[in-house]
Amino acid sequence: MVTGDFLNRLCEALAREPGSITLDDTPETIPEWDSVGHLAILATIDSALGLATDSEEMRNFTSIRQLVELLKTKGALED
């Protein structure tokens, strides 16, 4: 999946306007990214990419950039 599509899936999961999430975002910049929002992101990783979030690094990311880089190393995302 291309990164832009994935970010739009995150927008959908967090009930935000399409295109409103960027690599620079963190829980501090996205009000919807609280503990419940974090579960919505995990669910999106599972449903959109089919990836298990069964490791600490796959669950405990603290920025969109960190998440996207991690998913790229796993071959789940491309530019």
Contacts to other proteins from residues 34-53, by CB under 8 A: 34-36, 38-40, 42-43, 46-47, 52-53
Could you please report the per-residue DSSP string of 40-74? HHHHHHHHHH-----SHHHH---SHHHHHHHHHHT
- Is position 29 an interface residue for other proteins (rule: CB under 8 A)? no
CB nearer to other proteins: give 21 or 41: 41
Which among 62, 69, 72, 77 is positioned nearest to 29, based on CA atoms? 62
CB nearer to other proteins: give 5 or 46: 46
- Is position 79 an interface residue for other proteins (rule: CB under 8 A)? no
The structure tokens listed for 67 are 């998440």
Binding site for other proteins (CB under 8 A): 32, 34-36, 38-40, 42-43, 46-47, 52-54, 58-60
